[in-house]
Structure 1
Amino acid sequence: MVRIKERYLLVNIIYPPSLLTATGHDAVLPDIVVRHQPTVDKLTPPMLLKAIRTEVATLFGDYGSGALEGHLSVKYHALATSTFILKCARAHYKMLWAALTVMDHVPVKNGRPCIFRVVRVSGTMRKVEEEAIRQARKLILTAKETPPSLPSQKSPE
């Protein structure tokens, strides 16, 4: 019997600083915290999968849709850390990565602009989970050490 080879992708959702956050009440937060904000509660794994499949169909047509049809699933989804883990077939993980790179907003109604960053690709769920934990710890330590950025500290353009 042949074993099905799979890949797990650890993906972070990063929110670029906008004009509102630069001048609003979020200006007292460190930049790293502004970029790694929690995701809205309306984002569910089925909505995420639907948006990814739509993007794959747009980029790769019927071939891409068929390649990922039965092999794509969300294994972990954390709104607080804006992190999720996707499982797909090994032969098509680069296609999935390309679709995530092109996506530019959270797939909910009136979704905020964001960047889907693939942080780690692995053949086992364990290694991806370890990387997610390592990154969460690093983010917390960096946020504690980084002083808040004030509008007066920014250089004039």
Structure 2
Amino acid sequence: MVRFKNRWLLVELIPASIPTPNSSPAHLDGQKIWASLRQSVVNNFGDVGWGYVGPSMAVKYYSPTTNVCIIRVARDHHKIAWGALTLVTDIAGTRYIPNVIHLSGTIKHVQLAAISHNREVVARLRAQAKTPSAYQDSYEEFLQTSSTEIEALQEW
């Protein structure tokens, strides 16, 4: 039996513009991220590039609170997906700057990196709000549910 080897990208999508009260941010989900990544691969690497990464590429997780997503792609051509990801400029009409935080060969290590990154983002948000570290807020519930969702991810 042959095992398919994957690479897992942990990506933070940083909004390029500060939302104003009159503008509503696009509601992202895995399908919109996948579609914009697909378009970037086709535009920059052509149909051959899409043929390499298309069958294996999937957005396995996305958190709208921290704008973090986990993308799976085949090991042999993960650099094409990474390159196309860095060339993505907008998703669903909103400008984003993709920042690859972690690259892993196993889902377990990307899960650990995602949970750690979520904790760092929540700590940053709490510091901006100037709340004490022992303060109970909605972020505690978010950290619990996101950790559970991330740990529940399966290889396929």
Structure 1: any 5+ residue segments left out of the alignment? 25-38, 149-157
- Give the 3-state SS of the residue equivalent to 1:139 in structure 2: helix
Q: Distance in 1 between matches of 2:108 and 2:77?
A: 20
Partner deviation per Cα, 1:20-79 (whole Å, 9 max, x = no partner): 76xx8xxxxxxxxxxxxxx632x2322221211111011111210100121111111111
Aligned identity (percent) is: 32
Q: Partner of 2:68 in structure 1?
A: 83
Q: Partner of 1:127 in structure 2?
A: 109
Q: Partner of 2:121 in structure 1?
A: 139
Structure 2: any 5+ residue segments left out of the alignment? 131-156
Distance 1:66 1:136, change over 3 A: same
Q: Partner of 2:26 in structure 1?
A: 40
Q: How many residues align?
A: 128
Q: Which runs of 4+ in 1 moved over 4 A?
A: none
Distance 1:45 1:140, change over 3 A: closer
Larger radius of gyration: 1
Q: Partner of 1:55 in structure 2?
A: 40
User: What is the CA RMSD across the aligned residues, in angstroms?
Assistant: 2.2
Give the residue type in structure 2 aligned to 1:80.
T
Partner deviation per Cα, 1:82-119 (whole Å, 9 max, x = no partner): 1111111001111111111011112x1xx222101111
Distance 1:16 1:54, change over 3 A: closer
- TM-score w.r.t. length of structure 2: 0.73
